Amino acid sequence: MQKVTPILETKNLTVHRNSVAVVENATFTINRGDYVGIVGPNGGGKTSLLSTLLGFLPHTQGSIRLFDADIAKFSSWQKIAYISQQATNFEEQFPLTVRELVSLGCIKKGMLGRRFTQKDWQTVDSNLEFMGLSDVAYRRIGQLSGGQKQRMFVAKALVHNPELILLDEPIVGVDSNAQEKFYKKLSDLNVERNITILIVTHDLASVFCRMSKVMCVNKTVELAGITQELDANLLLKRAYGDHFHFVYHKHDCEGVFASEH
């Protein structure tokens, strides 16, 4: 039986913005190897929660521990990768190829200007292949589709071998086929490399199909394992309100599909 190792823990976490509590009294534990979908209504505090877990936004109460260290003393940030909502908002005429952009993930603090080694480029090419981007490695970044751009930024994050990846609504505006391919690649990372993943998304189908846990955020935070015993309808109603209705459909990956009516 695989040992359960907590890598992210919060206790009574409260976050304020403009004197208003956006996250309140959140206590949860993320274990190594978890694949967590973070869901909830717009304005419910999902992005604020991620920002606080990354140290971008201060918390006003409670505690955060990363890899068994208090966030105030945590220094091993290379273990964590973050892909924001704005990741793909770049100048499309910028003269970088996909391979060149991904190689920027090799640059470590204090090592700007270092020449890349053969091992660096092997790491870049390996992660491009893993993310299904080898065939576009020498294209300009502005020539990629939305789904390819997101996989490119995951490949860039992977070159420094993170143990935890946090993504904030990474595939807004991407078509359904590209979305499924993206979530499948994250599943592969989770299973094959044991990378822990937290992703903010509105795609409930992929959450309940591919992920191991769901975190509902609407000021309060509730984390649950995705099992046959989980009453998803009840869980989601607590986050979205009583108007929410959870509808099950068959799905390609033998999960469930959910929609709001």
Residue 192's pLDDT is what?
A: 94
Whether residue 231 is predicted with pLDDT greater than 80 in this model: the reply is yes
Taking residues 12-27, report their average pLDDT.
96
Going by pLDDT thresholds of 50, 70 and 90, the confidence category of residue 248 is: low
CATH architecture entry for 6-91+161-240: 3-Layer(aba) Sandwich (3.40)
Average of per-residue pLDDT values in the chain? 88
Residue 172's pLDDT is what?
A: 72
Residue 9's pLDDT is what?
A: 98
Going by pLDDT thresholds of 50, 70 and 90, the confidence category of residue 10 is: very high
Residue-range domain boundaries for the chain: 6-91+161-240
Whether residue 258 is predicted with pLDDT greater than 90 in this model: the reply is no
Cα distance between the two ends of the chain: 41
Whether residue 90 is predicted with pLDDT greater than 70 in this model: the reply is no
Going by pLDDT thresholds of 50, 70 and 90, the confidence category of residue 165 is: very high
Q: Please state the pTM of the whole predicted model.
A: 0.89
Residue 259's pLDDT is what?
A: 41
Taking residues 67-89, report their average pLDDT.
88
Q: What are the tens digits of pLDDT across the range 177-193?
A: 888 888 889 999 999 99
Whole-angstrom distance, CA of residue 79 vs CA of residue 71:
13
Taking residues 100-114, report their average pLDDT.
75
Whether residue 255 is predicted with pLDDT greater than 60 in this model: the reply is no
